[in-house]
Amino acid sequence: MAIKDYIRQRYFPQMWCPGCGHGIILNALLRAVDELGLDKNNIVMTSGIGCSARISGYVDFHSLHTLHGRALAFATGVKLSKPELTLLVPMGDGDALAIGGNHFIHSARRNIDMTAIVMNNRIYGMTGGQYSPLSGPGKKATTAPYTTIDKDFDVVKLSVAAGATFVARSTAYHVLECIDFLKKAINHKGFSVVEILSQWPYVLWTEKQRRWCG
Ligand SMILES: Cc1ncc(C[n+]2csc(CCOP(=O)(O)OP(=O)(O)O)c2C)c(N)n1
């Protein structure tokens, strides 16, 4: 299949800022699915809220665009009712590890067979740049004009400690590595986490996008 067969073209052009890493992650994910030869009718993507979570609108899989932080909870429900389906759960760092942190830890602890993709730009992108638990100290953000003082944590170490049985980290710059990790994660039976660092070029936002986010 061609990559365009995995997307809902009616929702394009997408709403991500020029230069944002999230589109590269979408591309890597579609290539991973294509290279694995998966039937798109057997794939379910659940997502919460955020720029990263918008990805579920762009893919031509079964998709649930749900509540901020709750993507893994919805994915768990789908998996319990239809275990034969492949579950893909893309989340922002805020979605996955701030509001959704408990769902993340306990999905890993239960080792539920699904792939969590943490699209980590270390900021709340969609709402305009509030710092997230992953921002780390010394970062400027709209909610930290004099820079942040809070520590961040290591997503990979957290995932391993919580019980995830496949964990990997890459960046939107390393596309081939991302494709490889995503393929391995999808093939893995159990809770797999792929953290992908993604750049956030807020300065490039257009007026239209600023208005769209209120
Ligand atoms: C319950 C709830 N709280 C807060 C929000 C507002 N909100 C929407 S997206 C978002 C943060 C998005 O950041 P992240 O998950 O890191 O994804 P990104 O946009 O950076 O890809 C927040 C706080 C919401 N929609 N629902």
What domains are defined for the chain?
3-127+153-212 (3.40.50.970)
User: For residue 39, how far is its CA from the centre of ligand 1 (angstroms)?
Assistant: 31
Cα–Cα distance measured from residue 70 to residue 53, given in angstroms and rounded to the nearest whole number: 11
**pLDDT digit string, tens, across residues 159-206:** 999 999 999 999 999 999 999 999 999 999 999 999 999 999 865 555
Atom of ligand 1 nearest to the CA of 96: 15
Amino acid at 122: R
Residue 201: predicted pLDDT? 86
Residue 212: predicted pLDDT? 52
Cα–Cα distance measured from residue 170 to residue 207, given in angstroms and rounded to the nearest whole number: 31
User: For residue 93, how far is its CA from the centre of ligand 1 (angstroms)?
Assistant: 9
- Answer whether 125 contacts ligand 1 (Cβ < 6 A): yes
Residue 163: predicted pLDDT? 98
- Answer whether 66 contacts ligand 1 (Cβ < 6 A): no
Q: Please check whether residue 69 is in contact with residue 99, taking contact to mean a CB–CB distance below 8 angstroms.
A: yes
- Answer whether 127 contacts ligand 1 (Cβ < 6 A): yes
Which residues in the chain come in under a pLDDT of 70? 202-214
Q: Please check whether residue 52 is in contact with residue 22, taking contact to mean a CB–CB distance below 8 angstroms.
A: yes
- Answer whether 92 contacts ligand 1 (Cβ < 6 A): yes
Query: Can you read off the two tokens belonging to residue 43?
Result: 């794939």
Q: Ligand 1 pocket: which of 17, 26, 49, 56 to mutate (most atoms <8 Å of CB)?
A: 49
Cα–Cα distance measured from residue 21 to residue 196, given in angstroms and rounded to the nearest whole number: 9
Query: Can you read off the two tokens belonging to residue 65?
Result: 């665009």
Residue 203: predicted pLDDT? 55
